[in-house]
Amino acid sequence: MARKRYNLTLPSFDELLVPTVKALMKLGGSGSVEEINNLVYEIAKISEEVLQVLHGESDTRTEIDYRLAWSRTYLKKFGLLENSSRGIWALLKADVDVSKLSNAEIVRFVREKSTIDKLDKAEALEPINTNQVNKEVEEEVDNTEEWKNILLNTLYKITPSAFERLAQRILRESGFFQVEVTGKVGDGGIDGKGIVRVSGLLSFHVIFQCKRYKGSVSPSQIRDFRGAMQGRADKGLIITTGTFTREAIKEATRDGAPPIDLIDGELLCDKLKELKLGIATKLTETIEVRKEWFDNL
């Protein structure tokens, strides 16, 4: 497959290794993928234009986020990071000296380790193609995130009304009640409303909007939605299969303005998986013959 070409200059995944570590240090040693990525954008001074480049025509991820996923995987294999099942990444050592980190050293270590691991598994009986091992390391992230691409591409094909009903189901499964889909034309983009109760004591009226497309939600769309929800709800919620620009995220949490929570495509996938809505998780059994056990007979 031919390598994708870009008119813009994008940092390679290895150039994002050190910025990723710096971002985690700035976050206090741990953070979500979204928190880490947003800080890396600032540290690496990545322009908004570059951030909009998609990984592929049929892919829902941006190229930068795809490369950052590579960076986190390499840092984990190098022994600097760990990640939990809840999607939180953390530094294994709090006192990392970033001035001593070498991009080339990290990449070389991970690829050599992968080659050695592959040799151990094959018991060195077969020659190993180093280029193939390198390719497997680099494609590991792509494989682990494949289900999200399939899911988002599936969501693009359902009708707008079906997507609104899906949002309604997600909110109900998440503890909202009196969730209604309105979807009236000329209603300022408001697609529905509901009530969420916190700790069984406080209730908040929430108005939500659904955006089923691949693009990014802009700050002007956030402002328009906020204008429509004025005086009608305590909070706003926008659910999209796409992404939000950095300016849109800032606008959603702007001081002095009614808060708007944001659910992008990646978080939507995680939520559907958590709630088991249209997602089935299967555990694969691995059987290994322990030859040393038989040697001790």
> Can you give the pLDDT of all 297 residues of the chain as single tens digits?
344 445 578 999 999 999 999 999 999 888 888 889 999 999 999 998 898 888 877 667 789 999 999 999 999 999 999 887 667 888 988 788 999 999 999 999 998 887 766 655 554 444 445 455 455 455 555 555 688 889 999 999 998 888 998 999 899 888 888 898 886 655 567 899 999 988 777 888 999 999 998 888 999 999 999 998 888 888 999 999 998 988 999 999 999 888 899 999 989 999 999 988 888 888 777 788 888 777 776
State residue 287's pLDDT score. Answer: 85
State residue 74's pLDDT score. Answer: 94
Query: Smallest Cα–Cα separation from 189: which of 221, 155, 147, 230?
Result: 221
Give the E-state strand segments of 159-264 in sequence order.
Answer: 176-181, 192-198, 202-211, 216-217, 235-240, 243-244, 260-263
How many angstroms separate the CA atoms of 53 and 65, rounded? Answer: 10
State residue 126's pLDDT score. Answer: 47
Residue 246 · residue 41 · CB < 8 Å: yes
Number of residues in the chain: 297
How many angstroms separate the CA atoms of 12 and 287, rounded? Answer: 37
Which two tokens mark 198?
């916190």
Domain ranges, ordered by start, for the chain: 14-144, 154-275
State residue 183's pLDDT score. Answer: 67
Q: Say how many CA atoms lie within 13 Å of 147 toward its Cβ.
A: 11
Residue 207 · residue 193 · CB < 8 Å: yes
pTM higher than the cut 0.85: no
How many angstroms separate the CA atoms of 30 and 90, rounded? Answer: 4
How far from chain centre, in Å, is Cα 90?
A: 15
User: What are the C-alpha distances in Å from 231 to residues 184, 234, 258?
Assistant: 18, 8, 10
Residue 233 · residue 207 · CB < 8 Å: yes
Per-residue pLDDT tens over the stretch 84-95: 766 788 898 878
Residue with token string 């808060």: 259
Tell me the Cα Rg of the chain. Answer: 22
How many angstroms separate the CA atoms of 65 and 213, rounded? Answer: 18
Residue 36, φ and ψ in degrees, nearest 5: -65, -50
| 260-263 and 235-240 strand pairing | parallel
Which two tokens mark 229?
């929800």
CATH class of 154-275: alpha beta
Residue with token string 């429509």: 228
Query: Smallest Cα–Cα separation from 211: which of 278, 262, 275, 154?
Result: 262
Q: Can you tell me whether residue 36 is helix, strand or coil?
A: helix
How far from chain centre, in Å, is Cα 128?
A: 33
**178: burial class by Cβ within 10 Å (0-12, 13-18, 19+)?**
exposed
